[in-house]
Amino acid sequence: MLPAEAGGGVPVLPVEAEGLFSLLWLIVALPALGAVLLLLGGRAVNRLGHLVGTAMSAGSFVVALVLFIGLLGRGEEERQVQQQLWTWLEVGDYTVDMGLLFDPLSAVFVLLITGVGSLIHLYSIGYMVHDERRGRFFAYLNLFVAAMLVLVLADDYLAVFLGWEGVGLASYLLIGFWAHKQSAAVAAKKAFIVNRVGDLGMSLAVMAMVATFSTSSFVGVSAGMPEASSGIATALGLLLLLAACGKSAQVPLQSWLLDAMEGPTPVSALIHAATMVTAGVYLVVRSNFIYAEAPVAQVAVMVVGLVTLLFGAVIGCAKDDIKKALAGSTMSQIGYMMLAAGIGPAGYAFAIFHLLTHGFFKANMFLGAGSVMHAMDDDVDMRHYGALSRALPITFVTFAAGYLAIIGFPGFAGFWSKDKIIEAAFAEGWIFGVGALLGAGVTAFYMTRVMLMTFFGDKRWRPEVHPHESPSVITVPLMVLGALSVVGGVLLLGGWITHWLEPVTGPEGEHELFVSALVLTAMVTLTVAIGVAVAWVVFGRQSVPDSAPQRVSWLTRAARNDLYGDAFNEAVFMRPGQQLVRGLVYVDDKIIDASVGGLAALVSGSSGQVRRSQTGFVRSYALTMLGGALVAVVATLAVTLA
Amino acid sequence: MTGEFDVPKVEYALVLPLLVVFAGALIGVLIEALAPRVWRYQAQVGVAVSTLFAGLAATIQVGVGLEPLAGDVAARGDVVVEGALVVDGPSVFLWGVLLVLSLISVLLFAERRLEGGLTSFAGQAAALPGTDAERQASTRRIEHTEVFPLLMFAIGGMMVFVAAGDLLIMFVALEVLSLPLYLLCGLARRRRLLSQEAAMKYFLLGAFSSAFFLYGIALVYGYAGSFDLAAIDQAVSASTAGTPLLLAGIALIAVGLLFKIGAAPFHAWTPDVYQGAPTAVTGFMAACTKIAAFGALLRVFYVGFGGASWDWRPLIWIVAILTMVIGSLVAITQSDIKRMLAYSSIAHSGFILVGFVGLYAGSPAGEGLTSLSSVLFYLTTYGFSTLGAFAVVTLVRDAGGETTHLARWAGLGKTSPVLAGAFAFFLLAFAGIPLTSGFMGKWMVFAAAWAGGAWPLVIVAVLTSLVAAFFYVRVIVLMFFTEPGVDGPAVAVPSALTSSVIAVAVAVTVLLGVVPGPVLDLAQQAGAFVR
């Protein structure tokens, strides 16, 4: 028996922040200050907005790096540092403190958010150079970074919820940044609404925590969990999973992510690939003390992860829009992380490991896609690309590094992280292992397709397009992220990442495999090779049609339509909802007026004069009231006296 | 019987806030009768503001002096004026909130810049719309300064309403607060027919609901033999089972009060009246009437009928669900901003009712979340955001006055970003987004209801607040992400009065979202109702 499975998650036992760590609040405060300055500063600040914004983000990264090094130097039991800021609310014995928790888990997140975030700020300087609202754009970016940092640094679920809503708001503002495009405004609204469904899970979970434990702090909940009933634990686990599904675009709340690609490309890279969409994974890993008591919820997490990783991969195969193909792959890769997180202590570290490497290579590829779009006059259709490897050499090389990382080419970052997840999935159950393996093959297929359609084959450029390499402010972030995509796997050296996260997630434990790990790695690599080969046969050897073929299999058609996610939502939620609204409005306006009004006319009797001079509504309103009062009296009597 | 007269004991020090407000209202009437027309506006505004400030000061003094009572539930205060009034923590808290909000309302009432130097109330309400008399009134620049004393009578009525310890006093207070409101609704300078229609509807339906209320009182008197809430409580607690007399009385009293808060199915008047009334009055009603009616509802049901709570709880559950669902779903299809805000206020009534059925009884030390403190807090947050939102509505105008059709609000974020930003912020608060007061308020009432075991109701509430978020966001999208039409709205430049109303509302909405502690603490300190 593994210690973690024997019962009991890892309680959160922080130490007070002192010395160097009293600077902790600066990590959040710097980007928040940037956002406030840029939003309120007016035109003068607006001109320098990009510099201010980037400096704030970079400053936050520096502080985070210093503190991270400080954390490295501490003993294992002192690596959870807590800083109290102020008491947010205090109602009797229920208190929510605004506090920050800097521990191994939040530390790696903070580094990812501020590090990749700063690179994307830098990139955006070049990417948004012609946009007259560039200052505003950087304000929103800073707002996002600040909110995301609150999300991962908060030490109380209610404060996490604050960051959770904050990133939702920033994401909404940034997706809709080019609101002159109708599609962007609609996509922004969709993202907001779908995310609210997830938030529902989060807020109910926090309420249930308060009702059960009289607290929503990590410390309190993790201490109280072992005594909680299994029903409460399962409910909490499922509610938090619902929240995670909304934010991380997991099935069934996946539909908003593909539309969110309407936002500017740096936004897609930062929010919808590297950071915000992984918040769900963070939430599950952070709540490990809840899932330790809720095996049913854990299985649910794994199932959601497995379904999504295949779902996203299939969508990725059929998209011609380069950003949407990448979005499908994001969904799929987060599915891997969820799967790993659902496994429990044996998977938490690998979920986070894959999250980090994914943050590097997916941000890299999104920014690369942005560079390609920049060269192609903002055309996103890969059928209009082809043979760009020579025109955009730096973009090509860095994108290729990301490509090799995501398919899991031996030695690259993704290879290490994905391999570990597949291994853990096999140890958990055949279905999960085979599904994850299959997903790796499909990933190889569609990423090779993207690669071939974009950088190889014939030129299918539109006549007026003359591709050229982007300026260095764009290519430098690409090179940094490309390098990280190659070497990101070093985090696993000597089991560093698993050991590092141990204070948060508990020891990894041993698992038994049906074959040796080496054989399994070979199987994964073989599957990937098959995926690449198939893609080569379909897209490399033949020329790519200029427009999407219409005579295609049902699967392709389904994948092009996002596997009917929208149609499903429409049929199940939207239409019945609209019917309900229409019905209610009808009842509110018409039926009361017509039938009751008719009755009212009868009641008011012969006086036609009076009837005509009246508005007609008053008496029907009065009759509704009378009816309501009668029902109220009768119901009250019936309930009690029956 | 020697005809001896027992002089009733009146604790003047404790009811001073009420006396101040009513005295101010009477002075207003005298000014109307005696002062020359040219001075009246200045005099009335001055009297109103200083009266309300004095009332607020008196309220604070009373609040500071309230003694905690010994007992198994934390409470402070006393029953005064021979049992007619109860000056306890909740009363004083609500007095304070009502006075602050009405101070803000006075500023909105006094705004003169938007109508070219006149208030937004009819010049001569008695003149028929479209007649010479009306034209004369407007060329002679007449205005109704009676609105200020009317407002103060309404506030006085509300203050008595929330503190009434006796059902008859409560009924009188209900009428005192309602009658001025009926009048005020009919006084719009523009769109007078709509305004008069609204006033008429409100009056007829209000009178109707008062009748229910009164009949309910009669039935309860028949049961308990007293109007006094404490005596009713004793009668209710003494018997083991409810009788038809009591239950019918409870239901009818509930109807009368639920009408005032705009709960379904007694909500039908709300959209029409909110739309037709002058916007400043709408804002005042939406904020203050709702607060007063909830204060009275809580007192009657917790104090008088607390012993029969298992009998009335199902009724409130159903009403709460209906109210939330109708309010938030029907709001989606509204095309008029004032009607939309009206339905939104209906939905908010539903949310507050959710808190109402939660855990009432506090523990001795006043620990934990109670329905009472969470509802008090919610009412405070809601009052400020609502007044702010209606203040914004007064500013979006075209040649014909306010443009309340939603289509005309398209692109407002481009033409006047600050105003649209403030409005968007209020909408986010209504939707319950964190770091706004609305989130804290919702959070409190839902948590109280959950703690009281009403979790199915909380789930419905969270679901409907999700739907509600949809139409709030729709307006934000409309303002910021839609191109302005060719004849987009002109935003009038307000005087310092309306600007300060909006600024205060924004500030309070932020503050109560970020540091709700002090106000929450006050609501908590208020303790339970004294009986």
Would the CB atoms of B252 and A629 count as touching at under 8 Å?
A: yes
Tell which A residues from 159 to 188 touch B, by Cβ distance under 8 Å: 161-162, 165-166, 169, 176, 179-180, 184-185, 188
Q: Are strands B85-88 and B401-402 parallel, antiparallel or unpaired?
A: unpaired
The predicted pLDDT at position B38 comes to: 87
pLDDT tens digits, A418-459: 888 998 898 888 899 999 999 999 999 999 999 988 888 888
pLDDT tens digits, A13-54: 888 877 788 888 899 999 999 988 888 876 776 778 888 889
Whether A588 and chain B come into contact, CB under 8 Å, resolves to yes
Residue A309 has pLDDT above 80, yes or no: yes
Rg (CA), chain B: 22
Return d(Cα A545, Cα A532) in angstroms, integer.
20
Residue B98 has pLDDT above 80, yes or no: yes
Q: Containing H/E element for B161? A: helix B147-163
The predicted pLDDT at position B2 comes to: 61
Whether B326 and chain A come into contact, CB under 8 Å, resolves to yes
Q: Which residues pair with residue B87 across a beta bridge?
A: B78
The predicted pLDDT at position A510 comes to: 67
Would the CB atoms of A625 and B433 count as touching at under 8 Å?
A: no
Q: Are strands A81-91 and A15-16 parallel, antiparallel or unpaired?
A: parallel
Nearest to B266 among A162, A214, A625 (CB): A625
The predicted pLDDT at position A402 comes to: 92
Buried-exposed string B404-423: b where 16+ CB fall within 10 A, e elsewhere: bebebbbbbbbebeebbbbb
| Cβ-Cβ contacts under 8 Å, A169 against chain B | 433
Whether B322 and chain A come into contact, CB under 8 Å, resolves to no
Provide the 8-state DSSP code for A277: G
Return d(Cα B34, Cα B11) in angstroms, integer.
32
Nearest to A200 among B369, B466, B524 (CB): B466
pLDDT tens digits, B295-321: 999 999 988 888 888 888 888 999 999
Residue with the bigger pLDDT between A264 and B106: it is B106
Using CA coordinates, name the residue in chain A closest to B212.
Answer: A629
The predicted pLDDT at position A251 comes to: 83
The predicted pLDDT at position A13 comes to: 81
In DSSP notation, A417-448 reads HHHHHHHHHHHH-HHHHHHHHHHHHHHHHHHH
Residue B20 has pLDDT above 70, yes or no: yes
CA distances from A494 to A489, A499, A513 (A): 11, 9, 20
Write the CB contacts of B432 (distance below 8 Å, at least 6 apart in sequence). Answer: B438, B439, B441, B442, B443, B465, B469
How many C-beta atoms lie closer than 10 Å to residue B252's C-beta? 24
Please report the number of interchain residue pairs, chain A to chain B, with beta-carbon separation below 8 angstroms: 185
Residue B338 has pLDDT above 50, yes or no: yes
Residue A605 has pLDDT above 60, yes or no: no
| Cβ-Cβ contacts under 8 Å, A200 against chain B | 462-463, 466
Return d(Cα A551, Cα A528) in angstroms, integer.
28
Return d(Cα A17, Cα A103) in angstroms, integer.
11
Whether A208 and chain B come into contact, CB under 8 Å, resolves to yes
The predicted pLDDT at position A598 comes to: 44
In DSSP notation, B355-424 reads HHTS--PPPTT--S--HHHHHHHHHHHHHHHHHHHHHHHTTEEETTEE--BGGGGTTHHHH-HHHHHHHH
The predicted pLDDT at position B490 comes to: 73
Return d(Cα B83, Cα B175) in angstroms, integer.
20
The predicted pLDDT at position B113 comes to: 85
Nearest to A618 among B204, B312, B466 (CB): B204
Residue with the bigger pLDDT between A293 and B434: it is A293
Buried-exposed string B354-387: b where 16+ CB fall within 10 A, e elsewhere: bbbbbbbebeeebebbbbbbbbbbbbbbbbbbbb
Using CA coordinates, name the residue in chain B closest to A162.
Answer: B434
Residue with the bigger pLDDT between A26 and A613: it is A26
pLDDT tens digits, A311-324: 888 888 888 888 89
Return d(Cα B466, Cα B444) in angstroms, integer.
17
- SS3 letters across B70-132: CCCCCEEEEEEHHHCEEEEHHHHHHHHHHHHHHHHHHHHHHCCCCCCCCCCECCCCCCCCCCH
Using CA coordinates, name the residue in chain B closest to A180.
Answer: B481
Using CA coordinates, name the residue in chain B closest to A627.
Answer: B265
pLDDT tens digits, B23-36: 999 999 999 999 89
Tell which B residues from 22 to 81 touch A, by Cβ distance under 8 Å: none
* CA distance, residue B330 to nearest chain A CA (Å): 6
Residue with the bigger pLDDT between B252 and A463: it is B252
Return d(Cα A177, Cα A184) in angstroms, integer.
8
- Average pLDDT over chain A, rounded to whole? 82
Whether A22 and chain B come into contact, CB under 8 Å, resolves to no
Q: Are strands A94-102 and B396-398 parallel, antiparallel or unpaired?
A: unpaired
Q: What is the mean pLDDT of residues A617-639?
A: 80
Residue with the bigger pLDDT between A602 and B277: it is B277
Provide the 8-state DSSP code for A154: B
Interface test with A, best of B194, B196, B253, B255 (most A CBs within 10 A): B255
The predicted pLDDT at position A148 comes to: 93
Most confident of A196-200, A282-286, A500-504: A282-286
Using CA coordinates, name the residue in chain B closest to A581.
Answer: B329
Whether A623 and chain B come into contact, CB under 8 Å, resolves to no
Residue with the bigger pLDDT between A553 and A157: it is A157
pLDDT tens digits, A246-263: 899 888 888 888 888 888
ipTM given for this complex: 0.80
Rg (CA), chain A: 27
The predicted pLDDT at position A594 comes to: 45
The answer to whether the beta carbons of residues A282 and A151 sit under 8 Å apart is yes
How many C-beta atoms lie closer than 10 Å to residue B7's C-beta? 5
One-letter amino acid of A15: V
Percentage of chain A exceeding pLDDT 90: 23
Tell which B residues from 183 to 242 touch A, by Cβ distance under 8 Å: 197, 200-201, 204-205, 208-209, 212, 241-242
Q: What is the mean pLDDT of residues B232-239?
A: 88
Residue B367 has pLDDT above 60, yes or no: no
pLDDT tens digits, A284-296: 999 999 998 899 9
The predicted pLDDT at position A85 comes to: 84
The answer to whether the beta carbons of residues A636 and B247 sit under 8 Å apart is yes
Interface test with B, best of A40, A91, A573 (most B CBs within 10 A): A91
pLDDT tens digits, B449-508: 888 888 889 888 988 888 888 788 888 888 887 777 776 667 777 888 999 999 999 999
| Three-state secondary structure call for residue A254 | coil
